[in-house]
Structure 1
Amino acid sequence: MTPGAPVQLVDRLFRTDEWRTVPNAITALRLLLLPVFVVLIVGERYWSSMVVIAIVFLTDFVDGFVARRTNTTSELGAWLDPVADRLTVIVVVLAFWLGGLLPGVVFLLILLPDIVLSLVALIVFGGASFPVTWVGKIRTALIFVGLLMLLVGRAVIAQWRDADDQLDVLGQLLVVVSSFVLLLGLVGHYVAAVLYGRDLARRWRARRGGAAA
Structure 2
Amino acid sequence: MQLVDRLFRTDEWRTVPNAITALRLLLLPVFVVLIVGERYWSSMVVIAIVFLTDFVDGFVARRTNTTSELGAWLDPVADRLTVIVVVLAFWLGGLLPGVVFLLILLPDIVLSLVALIVFGGASFPVTWVGKIRTALIFVGLLMLLVGRAVIAQWRDADDQLDVLGQLLVVVSSFVLLLGLVGHYVAAVLYGRDLARRWRARRGGAAA
TM-score (normalised: structure 2): 0.98
Distance 1:144 1:195 in 2: 21
Per-residue CA deviations over 1:116-154 (Å, capped at 9, x if unaligned) read 111222222222111111100000000000000000000
Instruction: Tell whether the 8 Å contact from 2:144 to 2:172 is kept in structure 1 after alignment.
Output: yes
Contact 1:9 1:127 in 2 (8 A): no
Deviation at 1:17, TM superposition (A): 4.9
Which of 127, 130, 139 in structure 2 is aligned with 1:136? 130
Whether 1:13 and 2:16 are equivalent positions in the alignment is no
CA distance in 1, matches of 2:17, 2:74: 10
Offset, 1:19: 1.2
Separation in structure 2 between the aligned mates of residue 197 and residue 12 of structure 1, nearest angstrom: 25
User: 1:112 is matched with which residue?
Assistant: 106
Coordinate RMSD, CA, aligned: 0.8
Is this contact kept in 2: 1:31–1:88, CA < 8 A?
A: yes
- Alignment: residue pair count: 207
- 1:184-213 deviation line (CA, Å, top 9, x unaligned): 000000000000000000000001111111
Write the distance in 1 (CA, Å) between the matches of 2:25 and 2:89. Answer: 14
Does the CA-based 8 Å contact 2:10-2:69 persist in structure 1?
no
Q: Give the Cα–Cα distance (whole angstroms) in 2 for the partners of residues 40 and 163 of structure 1.
A: 24
Residues 68-123 of structure 1 show CA distances to partners (whole Å, capped at 9, x for unaligned) of 01101011111110110000000000000000000000000000000111122222
**Number of the residue aligned with 1:77:** 71
Is 2:147–2:166's contact at 8 Å kept on the other side of the alignment?
yes
1:47-77 residue CA offsets vs partner (Å, 9 max, x unmatched): 0000000000000000000000110101111
**TM-score of the two chains, using structure 1 as the length reference:** 0.95
Q: Distance in 2 between matches of 1:28 and 1:17?
A: 18
Partners in 2 of 1:90 and 1:173 — Cα distance? 25
Residue ranges of structure 1 left out of the alignment (5+ in a row)? 1-6
Distance of 2:87 and 2:178 partners within structure 1: 15
**Percent of aligned pairs sharing the same letter:** 100
CA distance in 1, matches of 2:10, 2:100: 40
CA contact (8 A) 1:9 1:126 kept: no
CA displacement 1:12-69 (0-9 Å, x = unmatched) = 2112351111101100000000000000000000000000000000000000000001
